[in-house]
């Protein structure tokens, strides 16, 4: 397991070497993980340094449609940032520790805040495709945890506190930013499931009973890994569909990828104003 720590350091070194030539001394303050179909948000990065995951030691490729698998570094609305375009999922067969490896790597680069974005199904009956939900908390229903196994003491404690898994300060910043922009946003609990099947209607009713507002197959591992490392987390879920059983139609991945586009413009506007505020602060 100590190997994981060495691998993180090796990856950070390779990324720093790569960016040193273009932008000496570049140090990202915020990390952003872009979910399915949200890749275009990274087009806002000035003079981007793009590194395919395949060029970074210890990173895997990505296989899912809509997931490009690139790290992009540069200034995002004036803030030195590192973006992960494309993530690994547990349903692809990766171990949780592999799923969170890119997250751990960007945290080890010194970011203060990690912003996780995703595409989700709306469990809350008030939610509509195109809505953005500020993630206030999550429920881990993946049946696994990226911190399973011997604790990596170099990264964090054996039993990390998760009282504020999603920083309340970040929730306030995101909410007030959306308010100022006149963008109506939702706030709620993300239920993280393993997938890759979408839920049955009975499972969606169960998730609602448990307190979930949106459901998806990502985000939870990364939020756990970042909390372990003491990096504060913010989360935005793009509601792409009504969860199973809430609409007469069947769910398809194509619909999810298509409907993410409904949120991109609002997300873009929120991030422009919120990221310069999110870079500060403690957990
Ligand atoms: N369920 C699980 N994951 C998802 C969904 C959904 O309805 N929509 C987008 N990702």
For the chain, what is the mean pLDDT? 93
Going from the Cα of 130 to the center of ligand 1, the distance in angstroms, rounded, reads 13
Given a cut of 60, whether residue 281 has pLDDT beyond it is no
**Segment 90-106, tens digit of pLDDT:** 999 999 999 999 999 99
Q: Is 38 in the pocket of ligand 1 (CB under 6 A)?
A: no
Over range 57-65, report the average pLDDT: 70
Q: Does position 220 have pLDDT exceeding 50, yes or no?
A: yes
Q: How does DSSP assign the chain, residue by residue?
A: -HHHHHHHHHHHHHHHHHHHHHSTT---SEEEEE-TT-GGGGGGEEEEEEEEGGGSTT-----STT---EEEEEEETTEEEEEEES---GGGT--HHHHTHHHHHHHHTT-SEEEEEEEEEE-STT--TT-EEEEEEEEEESS--TT-SS--TTT--SS---TTSS-HHHHHHHHHHHHHHT---EEEEEEEE--SSPPPHHHHHHHHHHT-SEEESSSHHHHHHHHHTT-EEEEEEEEEEEPTTSSSSPP-HHHHHHHHHHHHHHHHHHHHHHHHHHTS---
Percentage of residues in the chain having pLDDT higher than 90: 86
At 130 the pLDDT is 96
Residue nearest to atom 10 of ligand 1 (CA): 120
Lowest-pLDDT range of 59-73, 108-122, 129-143, 198-212: 59-73
Q: What is the pLDDT of residue 36?
A: 83
Which residues have a catalytic role annotated?
36, 67, 89, 91-92, 119, 217-218, 241, 253
Instruction: Tell whether ligand 1 has an atom less than 6 A from the beta carbon of residue 135.
Output: no
pTM over 0.85: yes
Q: How far, in Å, is the centroid of ligand 1 from the Cα of 244?
A: 9
Q: Indicate if ligand 1 lies below 6 Å from the C-beta of 136.
A: no
How many A from CA of 217 to the centre of ligand 1?
7
Is the CB–ligand 1 distance for residue 122 below 6 Å?
no
Atom index in ligand 1 nearest the CA of residue 216 equals 3
Give pLDDT, residue 66.
Answer: 45
Q: Is residue 113's pLDDT more than 50? A: yes
Each residue of 239-266: pLDDT tens digit? 999 999 999 899 999 999 999 999 999 9
For residue 120, how far is its CA from the centre of ligand 1 (angstroms)? 5
Residue 64: pLDDT band by 50, 70, 90 thresholds? Answer: low
Give, using CA atoms, the residue closest to atom 7 of ligand 1.
121
């Amino acid at each position: 397991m100590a190997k994981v720590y060495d691998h993180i350091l090796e990856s950070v070194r390779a990324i720093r070497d790569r960016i040193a030539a273009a932008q000496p001394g570049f140090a990202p303050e915020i990390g952003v993980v872009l979910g399915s179909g949200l890749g275009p948000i990274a087009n806002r990065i000035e003079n981007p340094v793009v590194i395919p995951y395949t060029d970074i030691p210890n990173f895997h490729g990505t296989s899912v449609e809509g997931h490009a698998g690139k790290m992009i570094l540069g200034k995002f609305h004036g803030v030195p940032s590192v973006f992960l375009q494309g993530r690994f999922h547990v349903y692809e067969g990766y171990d949780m520790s592999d799923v969170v490896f890119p997250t751990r790597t960007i945290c080890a680069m010194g970011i203060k805040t990690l912003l996780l974005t995703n595409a989700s199904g709306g469990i809350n009956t008030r939610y509509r495709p195109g809505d953005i939900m500020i993630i206030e908390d999550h429920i881990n229903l993946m049946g696994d945890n990226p911190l399973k196994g011997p604790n990596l003491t170099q990264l964090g404690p054996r039993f990390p506190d998760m009282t504020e898994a999603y920083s309340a300060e970040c929730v306030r910043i995101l909410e007030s930013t959306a308010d100022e922009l006149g963008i109506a946003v939702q706030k709620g609990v993300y239920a993280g499931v393993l997938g890759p099947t979408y839920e049955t209607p009975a499972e969606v009713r169960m998730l609602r009973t448990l307190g979930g507002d949106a459901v998806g197959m990502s985000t939870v591992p990364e939020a756990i890994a970042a909390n372990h490392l003491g990096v504060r987390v913010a989360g935005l879920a793009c509601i792409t569909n009504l969860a199973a059983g809430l609409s007469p139609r069947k769910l398809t991945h194509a619909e999810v990828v298509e409907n993410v586009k409904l949120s991109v413009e609002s997300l873009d506007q929120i991030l422009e104003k919120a990221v310069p505020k999110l870079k500060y602060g403690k957990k």
